[in-house]
Amino acid sequence: MTDEVQRVVIVGSGDGGTFTANLLASELSDEIRGGLASVQLIGEHLDHPFQPANLDIAFKGAAPEKYVKEETDLIRKEVEFIKDPAVKIDFRARTVATKSGRTIGYDYLVIATGAVANPSKIPGLAEGALNFHAGGESSRRIWDALQAFEGGTIIVAIGGTPHKCPPSPNEAAFMLDEFFRKKGIRDRVTIKFLTPYPRPYPAEKISRVVEPLFKERGIEVTTFFNVDSVDPTQRKIYSMEGETFDYDLLIAIPPHHGADVVVNSGIGDEDGYIPTDRGAMRVVGQVGVYCLGDATNIPVSKSGVVAHLQSVVVAHNIAAEMKRSSEFLEYNGRINCPMEVGHHKAIFVSATYTSPPVDQTPSTVKYYMKRSFALIYWRALDGSLERIFDVFFGQTRFPVAEKEAPVRMATASTAPEQGAKQDA
């Protein structure tokens, strides 16, 4: 450590940003108390939602307010929360500008700005479809529509990839089937699942689980359906490949892109995602700048679990840089996405960069493991459950890479090795 204050600025107060801030506050608590370090978390909203609950809100009628807490109740006291949207990140000046006009300098920057679901990217989608990726309120509109639905065709369509929570479209179809069976009108409802992929789930091993269940439940699958447009008046959805389906209710996963601050700062790729070293989580070509979660361009699932696991790496590596340690962690590509398949059963889509998902059988135990995560999420944000996660994930603590500490303030690349990408 130097005698100067080392300023860590985290942009984005979702799962990854909040957890990273708390981990750093813990790792650097002595330095922060001694005035040698600071951790500032810049966020747009005071409300912090548990996003996986959107499925429960949409298809089980859960109350959105049950899954929201205030950000200030979730962060350690050492963290300064700045509720003021970031509007510009300037790598050269090493500053973040906010909407209110503040300019905040940093020595270390963490970009955790997430991904944005944007129905307006497809003509007619915003007007013609409901979705559960844009938050609790939009999810609630699905539940309201289901209450009034007495029969007809419901389409679940994937409007763009990548999107948050890869299993969620499949879960939506399973949960719709369960909802209408319980309501006693399943025979009056046709459920269609439209996907751009060659199979019901992109990873073949997982598709082998999903496909027979879809068949058994009467969920009709159309593959290679890339949504071109929607006619909300005629209630038709069109694919680029030339297929058309009529619908009575359309639930579509909107195309996603990176956050506005990334796009407007010109630091993302063509979709607004940040080019990021898939191991050390450093932003390519930058020093002391990290990115995690949905904001990266790393081809792994955009999910809270991934953001959580990457936060461990980012917080450790920033602390290591500050303390001139040569021990760095590397994210190993671990994903662990639960998929509810209806009737109190679930599977977990688990993989790493080098281990693709494996065959598995849906189980009630996995269903309750998924449900329990909604209860422990808030405590997980302060890091106190990491020992449990170590047991659960088996390999949360990633291999330590013995490396030279990156040269501070240099222009050298962080040597990204963007080799094998991952099946999700």
Partner 1 sequence: MTDVSATAQHKVVDSRGSFCPGPITDLFKAYRSSQLGDVIELLATDPAAKADVTAWAQKSGNELVGIADEPGYMRITVKITKKR
Which chain residues interact with partner 1 by CB under 8 A?
161-162, 196-198, 202-204, 223-224, 226, 228-229, 238-242, 299, 356, 418-424
Q: Which is nearer to partner 1, 203 or 219 (CB)?
A: 203
What's the min distance (Å) between Cβ of 34 and partner 1? 45
Q: Which is nearer to partner 1, 333 or 338 (CB)?
A: 333
Please give the Cα distance from 206 to 355 (Å, whole number). Answer: 13
Residue 197 CB, nearest approach to partner 1 (Å): 5
What is the Cα–Cα distance from 296 to 372, expressed in whole angstroms? 28
Name the minimum Å distance from CB 421 to partner 1: 4
Q: How far apart are CA 324 and CA 318, in angstroms?
A: 10
Instruction: Give the shortest CB-202-to-partner 1 separation in angstroms.
Output: 4
Nearer to partner 1, 89 or 206 (CB): 206
Residue 339 CB, nearest distance to partner 1 (Å)? 16
Give the three-class secondary structure for 215.
Answer: helix
Cβ closest to partner 1, residue 239 vs residue 286: 239
Q: Which of 193, 152, 162 is nearest to 175 (CA)?
A: 193
CB-based contacts of 278: which residues, under 8 Å, 6+ apart?
298, 300, 331, 333, 353, 416, 417, 418, 419
- Taking the complex as a whole, the smallest distance from the CB of residue 237 to partner 1 amounts, in Å, to 11
Beta carbon of residue 242, minimum distance to partner 1 (angstroms, whole number):
5
**Residue 35 backbone class (left: φ over 0; alpha: ψ -120 to 50; beta: rest):** left
Compute the least distance from the CB of residue 62 to partner 1, in Å. Answer: 31
Side chain identity at 328, as an amino acid letter? F
Please report how close the Cβ of residue 155 comes to partner 1 at its closest, in angstroms: 17
Q: Which helix (H) or strand (E) holds 337?
A: strand 335-342
Comparison of 197 and 393: residue with beta carbon closer to partner 1: 197
Output 40 or 170, the one with its CB closest to partner 1: 170
To the nearest whole angstrom, how small is the minimum distance from the Cβ of residue 158 to partner 1?
11
Count each helix (H run) and each strand (E run) in the chain, helices first.
11, 23
Nearer to partner 1, 9 or 125 (CB): 125
Please, which residue, 241 or 327, has the CB nearer to partner 1?
241
**The token pair that represents 32 in the structure block:** 């922060």
Strand order in the sheet with 79-83: 79-83, 37-43, 6-11, 108-111, 289-291
Which residues in 201-351 belong to E strands, given as ranges? 219-222, 227-231, 236-239, 244-246, 249-253, 256-258, 289-291, 327-329, 335-342, 345-351
DSSP reduced 3-state for 22: helix
Which is nearer to partner 1, 190 or 418 (by Cβ)? 418
CB 48 within 8 A of CB 71: yes
Cα 285 to its chain centre, rounded Å, is: 24
Query: Which residue carries 């909802």 as its tokens?
Result: 179
Give the chain's largest Cα–Cα span: 71
Closer residue to partner 1, CB minimum distance, 253 or 312: 253
The DSSP secondary-structure symbol of 254 reads: P
Cα(336)–Cα(261) distance, integer angstroms: 28
